[in-house]
Structure 1
Amino acid sequence: MYELTTIEDTVRIPPSSFDNPFKETAIEILNRKYVGKTDKKLGILVMVTDILEHNVGQVVIGDGSAFYHVTFKALFFKPVLHEVVDGEVMEVTEFGAFIRIGPIDGLVHVSQVTDDFITYDQKRGALVAKETPKSLEKPDFVRARIVAVSIKGKTTKDCKIGLTMRQPGLGRFEWIDEEKSKKK
């Protein structure tokens, strides 16, 4: 789930940027500082969107930069347990597939791809069903449900998202379309 949140911080504007528009410069500096960082309550910061307020900058002796206390809007992505998400297959291994959902990858374990028995085809780099013509490979688009969330540490590398595609209405988009066709 994406959410806009208001945050306060101090931003350091170097002298070389004094001629540039303040909002653009502050947003760029805050994005470099925060994009991809995680917070247990808010999730993963995707981008700083706007500067809402700022005070008059203060110059620190010996530094030359101006420091501004700012209030800004930031867009966060917080994976929510049982949320249904769409994503793209980024990598397939013999133990499952990594699916890009927003700014992070989640793992669909091989046991959670489909009810059919799945094997890994190393030549194709694909997970292939034994009894049906279903397969999963890069760059397929899928719909999955979040079944496990672990946001730890300060970056997305420390986060783990578990996904399943074994429920009705989930899986590769082509599988979902086939299910709908059969019901009509």
Structure 2
Amino acid sequence: MYKKCTLFDTVRIPPSELGDVLEDAVFRALRLKLEGRVDKSLGVIVAITDIKDIGEGHILVGDGAVYYDTTFEAIVFQPVLQEVVEGLVVEVVEFGAFVSIGALDGLLHISQITNEFISYDSKNARLVSKESSEAIGEGDRVRVRVVAISLNERDPRESKIGLTMRQVGLGKLEWLEEERKRQEKEVAP
């Protein structure tokens, strides 16, 4: 889920940038310091959008930089347990598919795709069900539910998000559309 948040932080402006417009220097420093950062309580800081307030500058002994307490707005992405999201399959491997669900990728484990037996087709880099021959490959759009979240602040690449499609209303979007059309035909006179 994306959120717009008002946050507070202290930012260091080096002496080389003190001649610039203060708001521009603070904005650049905030972007460099925070964008892409993972915080367990906030999620991923995607973008700094606006500076609300810049406090008085503070100089520390032995450091030529000026430190400013700053209030600013940011867009954050925070995955939420049980949230249903649509994403794009970005990679298929033997044990499942990685799905881009925003600022992070989640793992759709092979056991969480369907109740059918799934095998990995390495030649075509896709996962294929045995009974219905339905397949998931790179570039497919899917609707999934977030079932596990483990954000790693120190190494964001080690963050893990578990996904499932084994519930009603979830799956590859093409499968869901086919099911909807089939149900409409059954109901129509």
TM-score normalised to structure 2 length: 0.88
Displacement of 1:120 after TM fit? 0.2
| Higher deviation after alignment, 136-145 or 153-162 | 153-162
Deviation (angstroms), 1:44? 1.7
Deviates more, 1:89-98 or 1:58-67: 58-67
- Tell me the residue number matched to 2:102: 102
What is aligned with 1:127? 127
Equivalent position amino acid for 1:4 in 2: K
Aligned to 1:30: 30
Q: Is residue 3 of structure 1 aligned with residue 3 of structure 2?
A: yes
List 4+ stretches of structure 1 deviating above 6 A. none
Q: Does residue 142 of structure 2 align to residue 160 of structure 1?
A: no
Secondary structure, aligned partner of 2:56: coil
Structure 2: gaps spanning 5 or more residues:
185-189
Match of 1:73 in 2: 73
| CA shift digits 1:98-118 (9 cap, x unpaired) | 111111111011011122221
Q: How far does the alpha carbon of each residue in 1:110-162 deviate from its partner, in whole angstroms, 9 at most, with x for none?
A: 01112222110001110011121311111111110011112233342232111
CA RMSD of aligned residues (A): 1.8
Q: Does the 8 Å CA contact 1:48/1:72 hold for their aligned counterparts? A: yes
Q: How does 1:42-57 map to 2 (within 5 A)?
A: 42-57=42-57
Partner of 1:12: 12
Name the residue aligned to 2:187.
none
1:10-54 Cα shifts (integer Å, max 9, x gaps)? 212223333433333322221221222222221121122211111
Q: Retained in 2: the 8 A contact 1:116–1:131? A: yes
Deviates more, 1:144-153 or 1:59-68: 59-68
Residues 116 and 42 of structure 1, relative CA distance in 2, 3 Å threshold? same
Q: 1:91, 1:99 within 8 Å by CA — same for their partners in 2? A: yes
CA distance in 2, matches of 1:54, 1:105: 34
Identity of aligned residues (%): 47
Aligned partner of residue 57 in structure 1, secondary structure: strand
| Structure 1 match to 2:145 | 145
TM-score of the two chains, using structure 1 as the length reference: 0.90
